[in-house]
Amino acid sequence: MSVTDDVTHAVTGELTGEDLAGLARIRQEAEAGPGEQATRAQHARGKLTARERIALLLDPGSFQEVEQLRRHRASGFGLEHRRPYTDGVITGWGTVDGRTVFVYAHDFRIFGGSLGEAHAAKIHKIMDMALSAGAPLVSLNDGAGARIQEGVSALAGYGGIFRRNTRASGVIPQISVMLGPCAGGAAYSPALTDFVFMVRETAQMFITGPDVVSAVTGAQLTQNALGGADVHATTSGVAHFVYEDEETCLAEVRYLLSLLPSNNRQNPPVHPSDDPADRVASTLYDLVPQDGNQPYDMHKVIEELVDDGDWLEVHERWARNIVCGLARLDGRVVGIVANQPQTLAGVLDISASEKAGRFVTMCDAFNIPIVTLLDVPGFLPGADQEHGGIIRHGAKLLYAYCNATVPRVSIVLRKAYGGAYIVLDSQSIGADLTFAWPSNEIAVMGAEGAANVIFRREIAAADDPEAKRAEMVKQYKSELMHPYYAAERGLVDDVIDPAQTREILIRSLAMLRTKHADLPSRKHGNPPQ
């Protein structure tokens, strides 16, 4: 190109073939990343690249990248000589089943996915766009934390992410997918989101790594032993879902998104079902034993009630004495909270209260009706529970139910004793409809315990204390624990045939679909911590 051509081009602003070729080269460089060697190293760790992950998450061809050509402006420690495009994070939007979803994905091949000023600015922008557009945000996390070479600028970048996580909470669904090591600040953002997915072996989360723990405490721990997927799925409760590989994990993220609305102003998607709304669930007669002390699997009860037996359990491996999950009834999404008699007899304890309380709050935030299935003997007794704050933690579940304005239907399958009965969406704390099976026992406590308290003098004075105790237990049951005691006093709306439970739930929720409830005017409540 001649000098005259250069001047003419500058004046007219005309694009040339060379301009477009230059753009293509830059885009190719940005999309390729640091090269094949870095990609092979990523694959050798058992991990996909950021772009491969985005391709699995979103509908084919739907991804629109934002700020692909951004580069950092930092200097020192050799950074001025390393200025790759994207700065180690890929941001943009696409669709999942045709619905808009925003995403950012750390590229571990670039600076180990660490967060610097430009990196953070890209994440801030895509979070702001997601909130403005009213669409879910999915983060694909595989980063080494703050970029040490950028100092406090990197830390400030995390602060901006945390503030946006909090602003978006309850407005749009936020899903964190942990696909590599995430330490320090990188672990706090997922904790602020609605759901956390982890891949076994390759993903870890911790505030301080094994080396620091060893230096301070002397304990020798691997990354997985300290903050691996199994630890967070079973012990800490940080991870809601754990999978063996990234492909399955991202497929399940897509499934979860199909059960959630795009934002808090919409309802979840409706998927018509071939499962009849009036299907008779006679299998329930055999699934739930009449003997209140005999365990059974609540999962099977849920599968019998919901459309096609299909549902997604949340926190499956943590606090297993209570079950939480998302399912559909007549094609419409519901949240299910249920005691699990197979674990600790289904009692409520600290972890179960926290698990169910947060699930109820999530459902309420995103317009998901709540179905509660009760078979609860009470709160778990013991000094460990009392000293650990069962009062405070149990109040979280109570607060969540009392604060929820979505349609709420509860069913007592067998027993519901004491404070646990009240807390688990009883009529007195605002359940819209409450039903009970004919085998139900609603009382302050079990008959044996009640008789020991009420009739202890008579029992102690009797010639045959055991025979007297049995007599008093029978009397207490006949007077205060028969199946219709609560119905006679209006504490349940009806006693129903278990086989009709599915139909009654669907009809009840259809009636409640237009429910409107106002909370008192306030900045926000002060929930128990």
**Residue 458 is assigned to a structural domain of this protein:** no
**Residue 454 is assigned to a structural domain of this protein:** no
- Structural domains counted in the chain: 2
Mark whether 252 and 153 lie in a shared domain: yes
Show the tokens assigned to 426.
């009883």
Mark whether 354 and 394 lie in a shared domain: yes
Q: How far is it, in rounded angstroms, from Cα 241 to Cα 442?
A: 34
10 catalytic? Reply is no
In this structure, the number of other CB atoms found within 10 A of the CB of residue 159 comes to 12
Domain that holds residue 410: 283-440+483-512
Mark whether 236 and 321 lie in a shared domain: no
**Residue 5 is assigned to a structural domain of this protein:** no
Mark whether 226 and 308 lie in a shared domain: no
Q: Which of 217, 243, 258 is the last residue of a domain?
A: 258
Mark whether 344 and 307 lie in a shared domain: yes
Residue 321 sits in a domain of what CATH number? Answer: 3.90.226.10
Mark whether 79 and 203 lie in a shared domain: yes
159 catalytic? Reply is no
The per-residue pLDDT for 1 is 46
Q: Which residue spans within 134-248 are E strands per DSSP?
A: 137-141, 174-178, 181-183, 195-199, 204-206, 241-243
Reduced 3-state DSSP string for 311-326 = EEEECCCCCCCEEEEE
Mark whether 107 and 195 lie in a shared domain: yes
DSSP characters over 149-173: GGTHHHHHHHHHHHHHHHHHTTTS-
309 catalytic? Reply is no
Of the residues 112, 151, 160, 419, which is catalytic?
Answer: 419
DSSP characters over 351-371: HHHHHHHHHHHHHHHTT--EE
**Residue 19 is assigned to a structural domain of this protein:** no
Q: How far is it, in rounded angstroms, from Cα 468 to Cα 454?
A: 12
Of the residues 105, 120, 420, 486, which is catalytic?
Answer: 420
Q: How far is it, in rounded angstroms, from Cα 178 to Cα 200?
A: 10
Contacts of 520 (CB under 8 A, 6+ apart): none
In this prediction the pTM is: 0.90
Show the tokens assigned to 1.
């190109």
**Residue 464 is assigned to a structural domain of this protein:** no
**Residue 203 is assigned to a structural domain of this protein:** yes
Of the residues 113, 116, 184, 346, which is catalytic?
Answer: 184
**Residue 7 is assigned to a structural domain of this protein:** no
Reduced 3-state DSSP string for 381-405 = CCHHHHHCCHHHHHHHHHHHHHHCC
**Residue 523 is assigned to a structural domain of this protein:** no
Mark whether 243 and 306 lie in a shared domain: no
Mark whether 225 and 340 lie in a shared domain: no
Taking only the tens of pLDDT, the chain with its 529 residues reads: 444 444 445 455 677 888 788 778 877 777 777 878 888 999 999 999 999 999 999 999 999 999 887 776 665 666 666 667 777 899 999 999 999 999 999 988 886 677 788 888 999 999 999 999 999 999 999 987 766 666 677 778 889 999 999 999 999 999 999 999 888 778 889 999 999 999 999 999 988 888 788 888 888 888 899 999 999 999 999 999 999 999 999 999 999 999 999 999 999 999 999 999 999 999 999 999 988 889 999 999 999 999 999 999 999 999 999 999 999 999 999 999 999 999 999 999 999 999 999 999 999 999 999 999 999 999 999 999 999 999 999 999 999 999 999 999 999 999 998 899 999 999 999 999 999 999 888 877 777 777 777 888 888 888 888 888 888 777 777 776 777 888 888 889 999 999 999 999 999 999 999 999 888 889 889 999 8
Mark whether 194 and 302 lie in a shared domain: no
446 catalytic? Reply is no
- Residue matched to tokens 């059960």: 259
Mark whether 112 and 228 lie in a shared domain: yes
Q: How far is it, in rounded angstroms, from Cα 423 to Cα 248?
A: 36
Mark whether 337 and 425 lie in a shared domain: yes
10 Å CB burial of residue 93 (0-12, 13-18, 19+) is buried
Of the residues 157, 185, 292, 346, which is catalytic?
Answer: 185
